[in-house]
């Protein structure tokens, strides 16, 4: 065991949780877990660093997607908000090669909107698309997070084996090369079908406004696909909703309306957009996870030519 590369979790008293290195450095790498921050998502976040992830909000292209409210960032946390090219150069490191993946507000490695805030009544991170404000800070690994890890650590796991044509950005599962790993909301052998659930389904939007309402129950998990013919778009608005409020949204309705369905959709639990949104393709995915809480939503939608 001592001769192998491995992550070692070290429990200590205090409020510090951090990893020694970003990425595999050889041998044992310690992740320090303080007793006051020993939450599952914190451990997962620090494990992401050890596996090679920088913060999403520190990407070189982050200014296209977010703004930093520097006046509200605690001074001791400034380094965690700097674009990582600037930070690395400050430490004398000249080059870095980020993988070319789209910016995902729902990445496990993205801070929430009031992270390290001087005043928690004001944001430190403001998304350019405000509807994503409670998507940031999720406590679960996103589809693209897992895909990048598999690309780095298991690139040849399915090479030369049963060929799968995984659609919608899915990929062969390194643990079972006979099936695809699909973005949430999609399923089937090749990711072309809706992810099965007991309370969702396929809905075809008409030219008239229709309403989708959440089913009863705290432990349901539902997936809907609302579609229109090719060449048309889906116009929609969350007309009602009630969820426990938290940044990162532990209980939420999520709507995927982007062309790239690998991306986390915008999650609504505190903030509900007041304006209509139009899909980038001829379909949207609606994902409902109350996660044991009392919750509800209503979504109005129709076809837009």
CA–CA separation, 163 and 153 (whole Å): 20
> The tokens 């998304």 sit on which residue?
127
CA–CA separation, 103 and 20 (whole Å): 25
Backbone angles phi, psi at 260, to 5 degrees: -85, 100
49 annotated ligand-binding residue: yes
- Smallest CA-to-CA distance from 289 within 267, 262, 258 is with 267
**For strand 28-34 and strand 6-12, is the pairing parallel, antiparallel, or unpaired?**
parallel
CA–CA separation, 52 and 145 (whole Å): 11
204 annotated ligand-binding residue: no
CA–CA separation, 281 and 257 (whole Å): 7
Token pair recorded at residue 233: 């778009």
Which residue of the set 12, 36, 40, 46 is catalytic? 46
DSSP secondary structure of 74-108: -GGGGGGGS-HHHHHHHTT------------TT-T
- 36 included as an active-site residue: no
110 annotated ligand-binding residue: no
Catalytic residues: 46
Specify binding-site residues for Zn(2+).
45, 49, 55
């Amino acid at each position: 065991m001592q001769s192998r590369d491995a992550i070692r979790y070290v429990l200590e008293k205090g409020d510090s949780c951090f990893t020694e290195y970003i990425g595999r450095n050889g041998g044992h790498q310690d992740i320090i877990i303080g007793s006051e921050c020993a939450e599952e998502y914190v451990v997962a976040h620090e494990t992401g660093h050890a596996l090679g992830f920088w913060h999403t909000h520190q990407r070189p292209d982050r200014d296209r997607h977010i703004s930093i409210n520097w006046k509200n960032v605690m001074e001791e946390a400034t380094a965690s908000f700097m674009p990582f090219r600037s930070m690395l150069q400050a430490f004398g490191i000249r080059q870095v090669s980020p993988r070319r993946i789209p910016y995902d507000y729902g990445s496990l490695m993205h801070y929430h909107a009031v992270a390290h805030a001087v005043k928690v009544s004001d944001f430190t991170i403001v998304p350019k698309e405000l509807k994503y404000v409670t998507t940031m800070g999720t406590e679960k690994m996103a589809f693209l997070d897992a895909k990048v890890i598999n690309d780095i650590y298991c690139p040849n796991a399915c090479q030369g084996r049963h060929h799968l044509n995984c659609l919608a950005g899915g990929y062969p599962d390194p643990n079972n090369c006979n099936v695809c790993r699909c973005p949430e909301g999609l399923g089937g052998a090749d990711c072309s079908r809706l992810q099965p659930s007991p309370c969702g389904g396929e809905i075809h939007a008409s030219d008239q406004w229709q309403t989708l309402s959440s089913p009863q129950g705290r432990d349901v998990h539902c997936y809907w696909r609302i579609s229109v013919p090719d060449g048309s778009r889906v116009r929609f608005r969350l007309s009602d909703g009630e969820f426990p409020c938290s940044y990162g949204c532990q209980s939420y309705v999520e709507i995927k309306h982007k062309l790239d369905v690998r991306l986390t959709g915008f999650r609504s639990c505190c903030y509900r957009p007041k304006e209509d949104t139009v899909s980038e393709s001829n379909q949207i995915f609606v994902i409902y996870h109350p996660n044991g809480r009392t919750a509800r939503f209503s979504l109005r939608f129709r076809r837009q030519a």
